[in-house]
Structure 1
Amino acid sequence: MQHAAQDAREGAPARAVYVIVAHPRWRDSRVNRRLLEAARGIEGVDVNDLYSTYPDFSIDVAAEQRRLARADLIVLVHPIYWYSMPPLQKLWFDEVLSWGWAYGQDGHALANKDLWLVASTGGPEDSYRPDGYNQHPFAAFLPAYEQTSHLCGMRFLPPQVLYGARRCDDAALDAHVGEFAGRLATYPHWPELISMAHAAECQAIPSTDRPHFSPAEAMDTNAGTGRAA
């Protein structure tokens, strides 16, 4: 995949976008429901409402990998749960981004793609600083996303975050949704991408760190992380 800035200069068509929205309780959603509706309204954008697609948490790994393979931009849309992602989104990572496909020996399926996080927090922005109750800036909670991108050879784009989602006014919410929709519709022609470096090469991992298992052994091991049962 060529650099996004080069595409913009050459007037290339918009690239494929896969939006993965994960909210465990849509009835309580104020922000993510709007983002889901906005993404569905943009022609050519592939949208997956993860909790509706997999209500039993039984993820179709092959189908997800096909959708990822077609995409140039992968978008994660979800509220922040305990400084991380909702549980089904985490399971999606564990099962779909498997050794030998997304990372590790011969795992280059995601190389040179872009990963973009669109998140909402319950706490206001001033809670994400040393003197706030979260004690750290929001960026301090992003290493897992960033390292996942690096390991798979993807480029992690600057997140779009809506702080204090439960209490923000309608104007702020409208602006957040409008910016999100505009970016989906215009990717990769974002001004900030012009100066961003290419995605790093997939991080090399010794095969001994993530060995291949026999079918019987694989039943007792999570393929996405090598985590023993």
Structure 2
Amino acid sequence: MEPAPRRRTLVLVAHPDLPASRVTAHLAEAAGALEDTTVHDLAAAYPDGRISVTDEQRLLVEHDRIVWLFPWHWYSVPSALKAWMDQVLVYGFAYGAGGTALHGKELQLVTSTGGPESSYAPDGHNGFTMGELLAPIAATANLTGMRLAEPLVLFGARTASDEELGLHAERCLALLAA
């Protein structure tokens, strides 16, 4: 019996200030040590914001699982990831006629929030659950033919202890290594 083919994972890192990050930077560095994993920091790759669509689409095609690693930012993804989505996930590549390049790939979200989990409830501070707020990303996965995995969310990152951050990092690495 042949061994199962190895999955290649692309971790797209989007953070408005990665050097100041307490969570995202640590997870990105740890993920870089995993076998068959490419960590790609969008801000470092494109400091002028000019994205190479060809290079990005090639990376997507070369990997089986796509991970978006980012802090939850104004009820969405940071601007670097949104710009990437707008420019890379285009008609004819990611969706529409001939746009099947991402079909069957897995999309994994790894994010963190400043507020506690209780803030993300109908009666919480934000008035919506995280699942409700993630609906546009779920719709993006659906349109592009990707399977959206259960998101990994660290709630309350601003006040999380070093031990809590360590446990979250362990969960993230186990998820990525699976």
State the TM-score, normalizing by the size of structure 2.
0.96
One of 90, 96, 99 as aligned partner of 1:98: 90
1:58 aligned onto 2:58: no
Give, as a single letter, the amino acid of the residue that structure 1 aligns with 2:90: S
One of 155, 161, 176 as aligned partner of 2:153: 161
Equivalent residue runs for 1:197-208 within 5 Å: none
| Cα-to-partner distance string for 1:89-113 (whole Å, 9 max, x where unaligned) | 0000000011101100111000000
1:135 aligned onto 2:124: no
Identity of aligned residues (%): 46
Match of 1:67 in 2: 59
Match of 2:170 in 1: 178
Match of 1:110 in 2: 102
Partner-residue secondary structure (3-state), 2:166: helix
One of 69, 77, 82 as aligned partner of 1:85: 77
Give, as a single letter, the amino acid of the residue that structure 2 aligns with 1:130: P
Partner-residue secondary structure (3-state), 2:19: helix
State how far apart, in whole Å, the 2-side matches of 1:175 and 1:74 are: 22
State how far apart, in whole Å, the 1-side matches of 2:19 and 2:65 are: 28
1:124 aligned onto 2:122: no
Aligned alpha-carbon RMSD (Å): 1.3
1:148 aligned onto 2:118: no
Unaligned 5+ residue runs, structure 1? 1-9, 187-229
State how far apart, in whole Å, the 1-side matches of 2:116 and 2:75 are: 14
Shift of 1:185: 1.6
Give, as a single letter, the amino acid of the residue that structure 1 aligns with 2:80: L
Give, as a single letter, the amino acid of the residue that structure 1 aligns with 2:107: L
| Cα-to-partner distance string for 1:60-116 (whole Å, 9 max, x where unaligned) | 100000000011100000001110000010000000011101100111000000000
Give, as a single letter, the amino acid of the residue that structure 2 aligns with 1:118: V
**Which aligned segments of 4 or more residues in structure 1 are displaced greater than 2 angstroms?**
none
Match of 1:21 in 2: 13
Give, as a single letter, the amino acid of the residue that structure 2 aligns with 1:167: T
Shift of 1:11: 4.5
Give, as a single letter, the amino acid of the residue that structure 1 aligns with 2:36: G
| Cα-to-partner distance string for 1:24-77 (whole Å, 9 max, x where unaligned) | 112321000111111111122011011111110000100000000011100000
State how far apart, in whole Å, the 1-side matches of 2:120 and 2:90 are: 33
State how far apart, in whole Å, the 1-side matches of 2:92 and 2:19 are: 38
Unaligned 5+ residue runs, structure 2? none
Give, as a single letter, the amino acid of the residue that structure 2 aligns with 1:129: A
